A and B are shown apart, each in its own frame.
Chain A
Amino acid sequence: MKYINAIIDDINVSVEEGKTIMEAADSIGAHVPRLCYHPFLSTEGSCRICSVKVEGFGNLLPACATKIQEGMKVTTNSPEIRETRRDLVELLLDNHPRACLTCERDGNCELQNLSYKLGVRHRVFDGARKRFPIDFSNVSVVRDAEKCILCRRCVRVCSEIQGVHNLSQMFRGVNTVVTPAFQAPMDESVCIKCGQCINVCPTAAFIEKNDTDVVWEALKDRNKFVVVQTAPAIRAAIGEGWDIPHGTHVTGKTVAALRRIGFDAVFDTDFTADLTIMEESHEFIQRIKSGEGLPLITSCSPGWINFVEHFYPELLPNVSTCKSPMQMLSTLSKTYYAEKTGKDPKDIFMVAIMPCVAKKFEAKRPEHQAEAGYPYTDAVLTTRELIWMLKAYGVDFPNLPDEDFDNPMGIASGAGDIFGSTGGVMEAALRTSYELITGESIENLEFKNVRAIEGLKEATIDIKGTQINVAVANGLNNAKTILEKVKKGDKQYHLIEIMACPGGCVAGGGQPLSHVEKYIYPLDKEIIKLRQQALYNIDSGKTLRKSHENPAIKQIYNEYLEKPGSHISHELLHTSYQAKSPRGIK
C-alpha cells in the first residue's frame, strides 16, 4: 500500500493513496462540513459545502471529491472558507420552505444542523422560490420537492443499493427536480416503497406517509378495541428515540409504553414470525419432497415482494405463499382472537408498528382485505411515527418498567425474535426444518454461517446427508445477483432469504434517524450490527429458541389452525402475488 504525505492545517498527514482530502482531514480530527456526501454511496461532489483551499489552486476544491496528492497543502478552515460555506447554505435556505417548526425532520435534519453549525442567523434573499405540489400518491412514501436540496442521495441509494433506479434528476438549472421517470406520481412508478430514500435524505424531501392521526382517532373511540403489534426490529431501535444507546433492546418498555397511550391489547409480531416458520417450513419440505418450485424464496419483506412483482415476475412461483408475520397477526386478531373473545372483527382496530414503510402499502393490498370489506391491518406506523406519538403523549420512555405482551399472541421463540436481522429468517427456518426433516433434535442451533452483515451470503447446510444450498441477500442489488444466478440455473439453490433493506429490517426505511453526528448515516454497518446484536442477544438469552417448540404456537394449531398447511391455514395465512406494471429494468 502506497502512502501519501500531505499537510492539512499545518499538520503532517500520511494516508493511503486514493483517499480523499475529506478522509485525510477526518483522520486528524479536522472535520469538514458536508451535505451531499454520503459515506456509503458514490461521490456526488455537487453541494460544495466541503470546500477547502489547496495551495496552487485558485478556486476552492470539494474535499469529498478531491483525492489527496503527495505534497498537497490543504487549509480546511479560514474566514474566507467559512464564509463561502455559509453563503452556500444560505442560498439553499433561500430556496427552501421556512417550515422547521412543523417539519418531521426538525431536530435531525442535516440542512438545519448545518445551518446552525455554520452560523447562519438571518436569511438574505427573499426571492422567488421553487414551487412543487407534494406527491401524496403513494401510501408509503411522500415526496416534497420543495424541501429537496438536489444532493441526489436518494437517486444514488435507489440505484446503487436497491437497483430500482426509480429516481433521476430531471430538467436543468432552476427547474431541476428529482422525480421518477416522466415526473410520474410515485405510485405510478417502479418505486418498491422501501423507504431507503427517506433514510438517506438529509432533509424532509422524502418522508413516510404519516398515519398517526387515524391511530389517535381510534384510541379516542370508545367503541373500538384497539390492538397493536410490534415487529422484531422495533425493540432493537426504538430506544434511540430517547438516546438510549444503540443496540439496547427495550421490549418491555415498548409494551408498557403502548399500554400507557391506550392500546387495549399488545401482541408480538415475533409470535407470528414463529407461525411463519411453521407454515414456510411445511411449504419448504413439500417442495423438497416434490422437487418442484425450488428454490423457495421468503416472503416477509413487502419491499422485496414489490420488487419481484415489478422486476422478476417470472420468479413469482418461487416466492413463498406465506403472508408476512404482520399480516398473519392482523388476520388472526380479526378471526381467531375475535372469535375467542367474542368480539365483532369490525370493532377491532389493528395497528402494526413496523420498521418499514412498505408495510403501509402491504396493509392496503387487495389481497389483505377481508371478504366483509374491512382491512386486516387498519394502520401501520413506522418506528419513527411511534416515537413521535409517545413523545406527543408525554411518555417518559426510559423510565418505564418492563411489561409483557398480552396472550394468546404474545409468546415468541428466539427464532421469531431474530426475524428482524438479515439471515434471521433463514436461521429460524433451518432450526425448524432440520428437526422436521430429520425427526431429531438439532445440536447446534446457531447457524452462524448465515449470520452476517454483508449484503450477500451463501452456505451449504448438511441436513443428515442432504445438502441444502441456501443464500441470504439484503439490499435489492444483492438480491438481483442471486436471482440472476437462479435464472441461469448454474447452481441448485433450495432456500433463499431476501430482505429489501440493507442489513434487513433493523435498518428498514422506518427506523429512527439520529441527530448524533456519529450515527446520522443509517446505512452505517456499526448501527446495523448493534441493532442485530440486540436481537441475537434476546435469542441467546431464551431457553425457547425454536418456533415449533413455542407453546403458544402449539396452542393456536390445536385450537384453531389444525396443522401447518391445513385448509384453514391456507385460507388465513397464505396469499398470492401478481406481475405489476410498470415493469422494472433490471
Chain B
Amino acid sequence: MCCEVKYTLENDIIEYIEECKKEEHPESYLIAVLHKVQGRYGFLSEIHIDEVAHILEVPTATVYGVATFYHYFKLKPRGKYSVSVCLGTACFVKGADSVLGAFKSELGIEMGETTSDGLFSIEGTRCIGVCALAPVVTINERVFSNVSPGQVPKILHDIKDTD
C-alpha cells in the first residue's frame, strides 16, 4: 500500500530527530528540533514542519501551533535584505509606524513577507537599545538612524545599487 517516504530534510537533521525520539518525552524536544531546522534553512516551511511532525510523531497541528506561537520562528523565507524597523517605545513615539508604513508601501509587502524577487523582507523588532537615534532601522548589519518616511525610497535604492 505504501511506499518509502522520501524526506526533504537533510539526513543529519533526521538523525537528530530520531535521537530525540528515544528520549522519554520526545515532544519536549520539539522546539530544539524546530530551532535546528530554521538554523539550516532560514525559516520553517510547511513541508519541513510536516516532516518534523511525522518523524517525531507529534501531531502536525501541534507542531504548527508551536511554530506560530514563538516570534522567533519564521514561517516564510526571509529576503536577502531583512528590513527591521524598531517598534520599541522611543522609536514608536518618534514615528516608527509611519516609517514602517513607508517600507511596506514602497516594497508592496506586509510585515513578515518577502518581495517576489526575494530581495527584501520586513520585520518589526523590539527596542534594540539605541534610543537616542530613534527611529532606528536595521537592514542586515547596517544601522540607519533618525529615519523619516521620506528617506525610505533612497535607502532601498542604495541597497539595490550595492547589491
Contact = CB atoms under 8 A, between A and B. Distances in A.
B2 A165 contact: no
Contacts of B58: 585
A97 interface: no
B150 interface: no
A181 B64 contact: yes
B1 A579 contact: yes
A316 B69 contact: no
Interface string A184-197: 00000110000000
Interface residues of A, number: 23
A250 interface: no
B59 A585 contact: yes
Given A182-B49, A585-B54, A167 B2 contact: no
Given A182-B49, A314-B2, A585-B53, A172 B61 contact: no
Contact of B63 (A179, A180, A181, A582): A181
Interface in B75-100: none
Contacts of B2: 313-314, 579
A437 B24 CA distance: 49
A171 interface: yes
Interface string A144-177: 0000000000000001000001111111100000
A583 B55 CA distance: 12
B146 to A, nearest CB: 30
Nearest to B56: A585
Interface residues of B, number: 18
A172 B68 CA distance: 8
B57 A585 contact: yes
B57 A182 contact: no
A182 B61 CA distance: 7
Contacts of A583: 54
Contacts of B68: 170-172
B1 A168 contact: no
Nearest to A583: B54
A179 B46 CA distance: 15
B57 A586 contact: yes
A143 to B, nearest CB: 13
A522 B71 CA distance: 38
Interface in A563-586: 579, 582-583, 585-586
B46 to A, nearest CB: 5
A561 B130 CA distance: 84
Interface in B38-75: 46, 49-50, 53-54, 57-65, 68-69
A181 B163 CA distance: 37
Interface of A: 159, 165-172, 179-182, 189-190, 313-314, 316, 579, 582-583, 585-586
29 contacts: A159-B59, A165-B59, A165-B60, A165-B62, A166-B59, A168-B59, A168-B61, A168-B62, A168-B64, A169-B65, A169-B69, A170-B64, A170-B65, A170-B69, A171-B68, A179-B61, A181-B53, A181-B63, A182-B49, A182-B60, A313-B1, A313-B2, A314-B1, A314-B2, A316-B1, A579-B2, A582-B50, A583-B54, A585-B59
Given A166-B59, A168-B61, 19 more contacts: A159-B59, A165-B59, A165-B62, A166-B61, A168-B62, A168-B65, A169-B69, A171-B68, A181-B59, A181-B60, A182-B49, A313-B2, A314-B1, A582-B50, A583-B54, A585-B53, A585-B59, A585-B60, A586-B57
Leading 9 A-B pairs by shortest Cβ distance? A165-B59, A168-B65, A168-B61, A181-B60, A181-B61, A181-B64, A170-B68, A171-B68, A585-B59
